[in-house]
């Protein structure tokens, strides 16, 4: 096979492999795409290493992104996003940082904004409810708002974790995409940055009414909506 045709075929196979449940495909569509990719690889003697070589040859980048000024400890969502998109992360008071392959880091930044902005939108709604007015008679407004946002974001993070788990199930045992090498490269190059990072534990538990209301609203957030909007903003893939 000519080199040009083989390169085009590799791109087609990679496009098939990008059809996963976390970017809007159904389980049936994801499995069908994986099976089609396998068939093409077998028919054309294309190995996994042939597909991964171009990806692993890409440089990892450190993406700096401004934190939202909401100041309700939203930063814990970055670890969930980094895990989903095979990145490493840390933060300062003003910025969050994602380290990984460029498109993966961009997706982390996009979803960080999407989730935080969605939380703020629902917070504005909540502050107009009677429940909020009633709670202000018992607690400070800052405490109510903080607990609502924490409940919201924690529930969204659980949904992100479910997407990650589901993606692993779809890909496991198929022998098509190797992510271990990719993550190993990201971790290795991140360590080479020589950053002296401190581990900070966040208290994100809550049982009060505003926390529960935030959790319920977070459960209504459609992550697939964010995926679709991300596509329209030229973010190419979830991988």
pLDDT of 62: 93
Compute the radius of gyration of the chain from its Cα atoms.
Answer: 20
226's CB contacts (< 8 A; 6+ apart) are: 110, 111, 114, 115
**pLDDT at res. 234:** 36
Give the contacts of 186 (CB within 8 A, at least 6 positions apart): 60, 86, 87, 88, 99, 100, 101
* Cβ atoms 26, 165 nearer than 8 A: no
89 CB contacts (<8 Å, ≥6 apart)? 78, 79, 81, 82, 96, 97, 98, 99, 108
Residue 175: predicted pLDDT: 42
pLDDT of the chain, 239 residues: tens digit per residue: 555 677 778 777 777 777 766 566 677 777 787 778 778 877 777 766 666 655 556 788 999 999 876 665 778 899 999 998 889 999 888 899 999 988 889 989 999 999 999 999 999 999 999 999 999 998 899 889 989 998 999 999 999 998 888 776 655 444 444 566 778 888 888 888 888 876 655 555 555 899 999 999 999 988 765 554 444 443 333 33
Element spanning 96, H or E: strand 95-101
């Amino acid at each position: 096979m000519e080199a040009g045709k083989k390169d085009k075929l590799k791109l087609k196979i990679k496009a098939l492999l990008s059809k996963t449940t976390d970017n809007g495909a159904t389980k049936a569509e994801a499995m069908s795409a994986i099976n089609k990719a396998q068939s093409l690889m077998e028919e054309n003697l294309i190995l996994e290493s042939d597909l991964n070589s171009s990806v692993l040859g890409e440089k990892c980048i450190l993406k700096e992104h401004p934190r939202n000024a909401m100041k309700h400890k939203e930063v814990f969502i970055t670890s969930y996003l980094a895990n989903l998109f095979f990145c490493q992360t840390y933060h300062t008071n003003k910025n969050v940082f994602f380290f990984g392959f460029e498109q993966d880091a961009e997706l982390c930044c996009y979803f960080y904004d999407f989730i935080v902005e969605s939380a703020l939108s629902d917070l504005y709604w909540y502050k107009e409810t009677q429940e909020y007015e009633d709670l202000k008679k018992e607690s400070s407004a800052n405490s109510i708002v903080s607990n609502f946002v924490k409940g919201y974001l924690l529930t969204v993070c659980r949904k992100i974790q479910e997407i990650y788990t589901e993606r692993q199930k779809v890909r496991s045992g198929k022998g098509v995409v190797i992510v271990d090498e990719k993550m190993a490269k990201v971790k290795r190059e991140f360590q080479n940055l020589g950053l002296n990072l401190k581990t900070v534990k966040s208290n994100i538990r809550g049982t009060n009414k505003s926390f529960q209301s935030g959790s319920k609203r977070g459960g209504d957030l459609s992550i697939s909506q964010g995926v679709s909007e991300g596509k329209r903003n030229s973010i190419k893939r979830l991988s």
